[in-house]
Amino acid sequence: MASALVSRAIAGGLRSIRPSIRPSREATRFCGHFAKNKAPYVRAHGLSFVPPSFGFARCNVTASSSMRLSTLAIHSVPHNEPVVSAEWLHANLKEPDVKVLDASWYMPDEQRNPLQEYQVAHIPGALFFDVDGISDRTTNLPHMLPSEEAFAAAVSALGIYNKDGVIVYDGKGIFSAARVWWMFRVFGHDKVWVLDGGLPQWRASGYDVESSASGDAILKASAASEAIEKVYQGQPVGPSTFEAKLQPHLLWTLEQVKQNIDLQTHQHIDARSKARFDGVAPEPRKGIRGGHVPGSKCIPFAQMLDSSQMLLPPSELRKRFEQEGISLDSPVVTSCGTGVTACILALGLHRLGKTDVAVYDGSWTEWGSHSDTPVAATQVASA
Report the side by side order of strands in the sheet with 83-84. Answer: 83-84, 192-195, 165-169, 98-102, 127-128
* pTM, full prediction: 0.82
Q: Report which DSSP code applies to 234.
A: T
Residue among 310, 283, 340 at smallest CA distance from 201: 310
In sequence order, the β-bridge partners of residue 269 are 297, 334
pLDDT reading at 39 higher than 90: no
- Other CB atoms within a 10 A radius of the CB of residue 158 amount to 25
SS3 of 250, please?
Answer: helix
Average pLDDT over residues 67-95: 77
161 CB-contact burial (10 Å; exposed 0-12 / middle 13-18 / buried 19+): middle
Burial string for 68-81 (b: 16+ CB within 10 Å, else e) reads ebbbbbbeebeeee
Helix then strand count (H, E) for the chain reads: 14, 12
Fold matches, 74-233 and 248-369: yes
Q: Which residues contact 111 (CB under 8 A, 6 or more apart)?
A: none
Tell me the domain boundaries of the chain.
74-233, 248-369
Helix segments in 52-197, DSSP class H: 66-75, 86-92, 114-120, 148-157, 176-186
SS3 of 83, please?
Answer: strand
Catalytic residue among 31, 59, 298, 336: 336
What CATH number labels 248-369? Answer: 3.40.250.10
**Least confident segment among 53-67, 176-190, 369-383:** 53-67
**Least confident segment among 105-114, 125-134, 136-145, 241-250:** 105-114
In this prediction, residue 353 carries a pLDDT of 95
Residue 113: band (very low, low, confident or very high) from pLDDT cuts 50, 70, 90: very high
pLDDT digits (tens, 9 = 90+) for 229-281: 999 999 999 889 999 999 999 999 999 999 999 999 999 999 999 999 999 98
336 flagged as catalytic: yes
233 CB-contact burial (10 Å; exposed 0-12 / middle 13-18 / buried 19+): exposed
Name the class of domain 74-233. Answer: alpha beta
